[in-house]
Structures are given as C-alpha cells and as structure tokens.
Amino acid sequence: MSRAVFGGVLIAALAGALALRLAAADLRPMHHDEANQAVKFGALLEHGDYHYDRNDHHGPTLYYLTLPVAWTRGQATLASLDERTLRAVPAIFGAGLILLFLPLTRRFGRPAVAAAAILAALSPALTCFSRYYIQESLFAWFVIAFLIAAGRFAERPGPAPAVCAGAMAGLAYSTKETSVIALSAVVLAAVLARVTTRSADAPDDATAPRVSAGRRAAWVAAGVAAAIVVAFTFYSSFLKYPGGLFESIRAFGVYFDRGFGPGSHSQPFGYYARLLAYSSSGGLVWTEGLVLVLACAGMIASALRSPAIPSGFWGRYVSLYALIAFAGFSAIRYKTPWNLVPFYAGFVLMAGVGTAAIVRGVRPRAWRVLVILALVVAVSHLGLQNWRANFRYPADPRNPYVYAQTVPDFLRLTQRVMDVAALHPDRSAMLVKVVAGPYEQWPLPWYLRRMTRVGYWTRADRAGRLADAPVVIASQDQADAVAAALGGDYVQEFYGLRPDVLLAIFIERPSWDRFLASRQPR
Amino acid sequence: MLLLAALLVPLAAQQAAEKEVLKLQLPKPMFIGTPTNIKSPNLEVITGKSRPPFMVPVGTKLLSLKKPVRSSDMQPVIGELDMITDGEKEGGDGYFVELGPGKQWVQVDLGKPYALQAILVWHYHSQARVYRDVIVQLSDDKDFLKGVQTIFNNDHDNTSGLGIGKDKEYIEVAEGRLIDPKGAKARFVRFYSNGNTTNDLNHYVEIEVYGTPIS
C-alpha cells in the first residue's frame, strides 16, 4: 500500500468516524447516566465547582474536558448547554482512536493500520458509545495511548515513553475506576509479550542502546510520578480539594462491592462475547462477528509470527492486552454494554492485523481479489449495522447496545411541559413538581433545565400542596396518591420513561385548555 | 299501545335474526396480563377480560385479505407491506412490518366500496405498549382529499393535526383492536399512528376489514 493511498484511507476513516459520531447528536434521548453527568458538568461550568464523588459519576476528566467545547460554543450555564456540546467530547475521543493507530504503522504495516482504522470508524459498538455523554471513549483512548507508550518503553526504554505512559495512565485513572483492570492488563501483556518474544522480533532492539537497570528503574519512577501528578491534579479539582486522590482510592471499596456483589446489572462471564458475536430481537439481527473473526486471525498470525506483521512483539502484546482485558472485564459480575469499549478497541486493532495477514496470505492473485471483495461486502454490512444502531434504532430496546435507555416517548412528556409553560403566565418560572423515586426522576433535571422552579420529591405526602403546581409529574407508584391529592381539576396523561417504566403527568385544567386551544386547526 | 308493541317485537326479532357474531381467528397471546400498571383517563380501562362477541349483519365477509396496501413509508426496514393483509396475526418476529418514526399511515384498498361492518387492527402484540395518535379514516378517494370519514381517533391533543380525538388510547393485545364503522361505505381504509410508548416507530401485524356488498 502506497503512502498516498494509506493517507487517503486514514483521512477518509477519520472523517467518516467523526461524521458517524457527531451527526444528529441529539437524536437519542439522554440516558439517565448522561443526564446525571450533564447536570454535574453544569455545576462545574456555572460555578467552577467539581468535587469527586467516590460513590458515583466516575472520574473528573470528562467534565473538565467538556469545558473547552462549551466555551467554544459560547455556553456558560447549564440551561444554555445542549446535547451537541456534551456528546462532542466522547465523539472526538472516539474518532481520535484512529489517530492512535498511526504510531503502530511501522509495527503492523500500513494495510493493517488502514484496515483497523476503517473497522474502528464503522464499528457499531465503538460508534454507539462515542455518542453517549459517558466516560468510555475517553477511557479507551487513554488506555490505548498508555498501551502504545508502554509498548514503546518495553521496546526501547527512555524517559519520553515512560513519562508519556505515566501521563496516559494518570488520565485513564482520572476517567474511570475500572482503569485498574485495563492498565493492569497492559502491564501484564507487556511483560508476557516481552519475555516470549525474541529480541530480533522487536524492530527497535537492534538500534536500542543498552540501558542499566538503575536508569530503567528511574524512568519507571518518572512515569509513576507523572501518573500521580496527573491523577492528583484532576482528582483534587486542580488543587481545590487535595483529598480527592485519596477519595479515589477509597472508591475501590465501593466499586469492588458493586462489581462483584449481586445486583440488577449482574451478567454471566460470556455477556460481552455474546453481545458482540450475535444477537437477535424483534426482527433485527446484530453481529460484530466480522471484527471478532478478523481479530482472531490477527492474534493467530501474531502468535505464529506471520511475515505480514513486521513486529512479533507488538502483535503478541496487543493480542494479550485485548484478551487479558476482555477476561478481566468479563470476570466482573457488574456489566453494562459500554464497558466493552476499552478491550474491544484492542480487538479492532488486531482485526486490522488479521485483515492484512489474510489478504497477504491468500494466493493466487484472483483469490486475493475475491477475498478483498468479500471483506468489502462484510465491512459494508458493518456500516449498515452502524447506521441502524445509531440512526434508525438508537433508543430501541432491540438494539443490543441500548441499555436502560430513555425511550423517545419521554421527549413527548418534556415537550408537553414546555408547551404548557409557554402558554402559562409564569412561562419558564411555572412551578413543576416531580414526585418519583431517584431512578424515575432522571433524566428530567436535564430536560427541564430551562425551567427555574422545578422541585423533586420521592413521595406525594412530602411534596407540600401539590395543587399549587400547574404541572405535576409522578412515577407509577406515586400516581394514585398524586391524583387523589389533586382532585378532578387536572388532566392526566402518561408517557414512557424506559421500557416498561411510565411516568404520569398531571396538568391543571386551565393550562390544558389553553394548550389544547393552541393545537386547534386555525 | 299494545298494537304498536305487537308490531315492534317481531321487527326487533327479525333484525336480531339478521345479525350474527363476527367470527374471528385470533392469534395466541404473547404476554399474560398487563405488566405495567398504567392508569389514565385517556387510557381505556384494562379489564383483563376478553372482548364480548361483536354482532355483524349476516353475510359479512372479510374483505381485506390479500388486498393491496399503500403506506407513507413504502420501504419498511422490517417486513413487507403485504404482510398487513396476509392473514397472519402471530405476534412474534417475522409477522410484523415496521414503518419509520413519527406519524405514518397505511391504507388498504378494498377494490370497490363496501358497507363496512367491522375493522380490526393489530399493531404489535408481543409487548404491552400503547400506540400514539391512532386514527382510522374511510374514503373513496385514494388520496383522502375528499369524502373522508373519521371513525376512530385517540389523538387527544391533535398532535397529528387531523383533529382532536375523543376515543381512548389502548394497550395492544392479541385480540387486536376492534373498531365499529357502523356500516359506513368506503373503498379505502387508512390507519394513522405516531410511534408508541416503547419506541418512535410504527408497526402492523395485520389489518382486517369486514363488510357487506352495497346493494
């Protein structure tokens, strides 16, 4: 593959990845977790206030890295924010994963890196979770950056890769608590790959100067120091709360209990493998089996030291990382679909290696052309699934990557509140009372962020005089109590929140009549 | 007075004799009971009981079987439009057609005008869900520009812009939704919907239109 073709493919993959991740950013209703984090970011944006919470919300990087996007778009308050600002951050990091493959061109060859870039751009799973305002795509980016820097250090020790690896580890740790699994997988993979690979297989070994154990230890220490400095800076909210880093260590107790204890998110070991390999629901079939098969080919080619892969060390290293991280995340009982991103990025990289190995290994030329055509068809199918997952069925429960997702019907509810408020004398200051448990309240605070008088209670008997509010929203378990408290002068409607979870809305009769009059044909 | 009663009783008996129970082949239920405890004045009361027998004039026939179907979404991602009148009413995968998001319609062409006696629609009955803004209209004009009769409308806030409906929303079940056209005459039957409580897409398992020839 010529340099020009390679460059063209990479630019096209990057542009395609950005388009798929940024287009129609507000198409899918905000997930409970996204809304939660958006409101937390709003506090940082408005008041400069961020305090790490070891029980929830993960690490600080997502919030701090959203600031430049909000500033660029001239948004200074929670009310002024929108989905495009928030979701741009994970989208940029999700597409940016492709740029991380570039330093591996010499290790894997241009065809492998080009193929990996195309697969990363089109992967429905990687695209999907780059369109959520959650930590995963940032986390995967920092982990893969650490993987590359640590591999570079293992290959040719020096202060630059050590400090770079340390900084990336610090950023990964400042993003998610599960970084301990991913970062450990990288270190273990590096050690195993190094001891099982002959020196001649690592291309830089021949030119690498001999380094004493003392100097090597000093560089490792510099890397660890860089990681601590970065993590301390973020967890302390840029030195405002020095105890933040200590809190992040205490969080391991919380996340250990959550990760290994029984709970509604518990899934069997094979959950991620099944999710990626094949699923079918409601007439829709999903598979990223192409990536998995190509990744297996890449891993086998690496293990067998295929001539298609210039570096034996890097093939084994990335393979081991992907497999160890996959096993580590699969071993935790607590599973959500987006947790697959950090290890799946490794599989995608190895799928690129596998593609190059297969194409190079097929002879004669006619067969090679047929294989390339078959791959083009398979990749097109991946693209079709990407469109379905992210644009046709972005919030549909049949989409395997959709998890406890807010249903589109919920947007009708929030639109109803806005429409009623627009006709109410108090406009955005119209009183709205929400009576629902914590899990049924979200993502209302995000969608009602432009309403200035919204109160939240978990029980009707604690919400004061409900009839003071022109609009009351209630969860199913509170709807009867709210209806009884309001009497007959309210119109009641219901809307979906999540699959099989509904919210009731009560609108006082005069407001309803005004609203209905506005909907009459003129 | 007695004479009038004596005249009316045989007449009523004769009318009753001209009616019969509409015979339906119903699919197997896909879920038991109502998993979500939905209560709303806009929602039909959930009784959990089967629909009572529906009386139609003797000679009422199924008119819609294998009849052509048009839609606002002529290229559904899942299924084909002709599945709507193929007689298959099962709730599982492979039995429904999925139309795009938002307001969509399907329209059955009966070939010629009939006196319509019963209309049944199954949107999707493998999950308890409510389809929004269900409107059923009749016309002899394939474009529904003239002579349009609305026989069912539960768009209570006029979202679809076809007028405020007074009918109630309902949860999809295996026995389908029965709409009484009260003998209205039409060749075309159009069904609107606007997403549902689970997603913003529109689905049809089957539509059945029953009627009698216009003498």
Q: What is the mean pLDDT of chain A?
A: 93
**Which residues in chain B are closer than 8 Å to A407, comparing Cβ atoms?**
197-199
On the 0-12 / 13-18 / 19+ scale of CB atoms within 10 A, A99 is middle
Q: What is the mean pLDDT of residues A462-474?
A: 95
Q: What is the mean pLDDT of residues A184-212?
A: 78
Q: Give rounded-to-5 percent helix, strand, coil for chain A.
A: 65, 5, 30
**Which residues in chain B are closer than 8 Å to A478, comparing Cβ atoms?**
none
What global pTM score does this model have? Answer: 0.89
pLDDT in tens, A287-336: 999 999 999 999 999 998 777 777 689 999 999 999 999 999 999 999 99
User: A interface mutation test: which of B39, B88, B199 has the most A CBs within 10 A?
Assistant: B199
Indicate yes or no: CB of B40 within 8 angstroms of CB of A493. Answer: yes
Which residue has 């609305």 as its token pair? B150
Residue B34 has pLDDT above 50, yes or no: no
Q: What is the pLDDT of residue A488?
A: 82
Q: How confident is the model at residue A382 (pLDDT cuts 50, 70, 90)?
A: very high
Residue A214, CA distances (Å) to A167, A205, A219, A228 in order: 21, 19, 9, 21
Q: What is the pLDDT of residue B31?
A: 57
Domain range annotation of chain A: 3-392, 409-518
User: B interface mutation test: which of A279, A494, A514, A522 has the most B CBs within 10 A?
Assistant: A494
Residue B53 has pLDDT above 70, yes or no: yes
Q: What is the pLDDT of residue A261?
A: 73
Q: Cα separation of A146 and A186, whole Å?
A: 8
Residue of B nearest to A503 (CA): B38
pLDDT in tens, A106-149: 999 999 999 999 999 999 999 999 999 999 999 999 999 999 99
Q: What is the pLDDT of residue B171?
A: 87
**Which residues in chain B are closer than 8 Å to A413, comparing Cβ atoms?**
none
Q: What is the pLDDT of residue A500?
A: 82
B195 → closest Cβ in A284, A408, A479: A408
Q: What is the mean pLDDT of residues A44-62?
A: 91
Main-chain dihedrals φ then ψ at residue A152, nearest 5 degrees: -65, -40
Q: What is the mean pLDDT of residues A59-64?
A: 96
Indicate yes or no: CB of A396 within 8 angstroms of CB of B163. Answer: no
Residue B35 has pLDDT above 70, yes or no: no
**Which residues in chain A are closer than 8 Å to B77, comparing Cβ atoms?**
388, 392
Q: How far is B31 from chain A (nearest CA, A)?
A: 13
Indicate yes or no: CB of A521 within 8 angstroms of CB of B197. Answer: no
Coil, strand, or helix at residue A263? coil
Q: What is the pLDDT of residue A253?
A: 80
Q: What is the pLDDT of residue B36?
A: 52
- Residue A334 gets which letter from DSSP? B
pLDDT in tens, B126-169: 888 899 999 999 999 999 999 999 999 999 999 999 999 999 99
Residue of A nearest to B127 (CA): A500
Q: How far is B64 from chain A (nearest CA, A)?
A: 25
Say which CATH class A409-518 falls into. Answer: alpha beta
ipTM, interface predicted TM-score of the complex: 0.80
Coil, strand, or helix at residue A223? helix
Residue A202 has pLDDT above 70, yes or no: no
Residue A275 has pLDDT above 50, yes or no: yes
Residue of B nearest to A519 (CA): B158
A409 → closest Cβ in B96, B163, B197: B197
Indicate yes or no: CB of B197 within 8 angstroms of CB of A407. Answer: yes
Q: What is the mean pLDDT of residues B102-119?
A: 97
Helix (H) or strand (E) holding A497: strand A490-498
Q: How far is A399 from chain B (nearest CA, A)?
A: 11
Main-chain dihedrals φ then ψ at residue A516, nearest 5 degrees: -65, -35
Sheet with A471-475, strands from edge to edge, namely A454-457, A432-435, A471-475, A501-508, A490-498
Residue A421 has pLDDT above 60, yes or no: yes
Residue B15 has pLDDT above 90, yes or no: no
A397 in contact with B, Cβ within 8 Å: yes
Tokens of B23: 């015979």
Residue numbers of A between 439 and 478 with CB closer than 8 Å to B: 476
Q: How far is B157 from chain A (nearest CA, A)?
A: 6
